[in-house]
Structure 1
Amino acid sequence: MAEPDYAPPRKRSVLIAGHATSISLEPAFWRALEAAAKERAVPLNALVAEIDAARLEAERPPNLTSAIRQWLFGRAFAG
């Protein structure tokens, strides 16, 4: 059964450069992130690592969870 879009965040561990990190996202964001990884034909960890690397290039990098949400939002409206 699918979780409602307004469910509280769920914490999951992902590997970035061989290191486990914990990310808390609402189920709707997890589904969107999984769909983006599938669309790109890359593992979820690889996509998170890509988003992480891009956020670290920012002048004032947001935390990883915020970067993922912003990346997904930008993707949704990219055309």
Structure 2
Amino acid sequence: MALSKRSLSLHGHRTSVALEPEFWAVIDRSVARRDMSLAGLVAEIDESRDPDDALSSALRVFALREALAETPGGS
């Protein structure tokens, strides 16, 4: 599966993150539900992640948790 790259400003610096489109779809729904910007949500995730974990990994875990929460009976 091809990755989709998005560029954004994170803590005053430009950065790019490449994820599979399915992860971006969940993140986009989360952004809309929270009525915030993509950069704002990514900044929150970045601030809460373990410094040893890659940002892309933290975004995937966030998306997985969000998708599970969207599913009836999900955790």
TM-score range, shorter chain: 0.7 to 0.9
Q: Can you give the 5+ residue segments of structure 1 that lack an aligned partner in the other structure? A: 1-6
Which residues of 2 match residues 1-79 of structure 1 at below 5 A?
7-55=1-49, 58=50, 61-78=52-69, 79=75
Deviations 1:3-49 (A, max 9, x none): xxxx4101121111121111001111111111100100000110000
- TM-score, normalization: structure 2? 0.82
- TM-score, normalization: structure 1? 0.79
Aligned residues: 70
Q: Can you give the 5+ residue segments of structure 2 that lack an aligned partner in the other structure? A: 70-74
SS at match of 2:30: helix
Q: What CA distance in whole angstroms lies between the structure 2 residues aligned with 1:61 and 1:47?
A: 19
Identity of aligned residues (%): 39
Point out the structure with the larger helix share: 2
Q: What CA distance in whole angstroms lies between the structure 2 residues aligned with 1:44 and 1:12?
A: 10
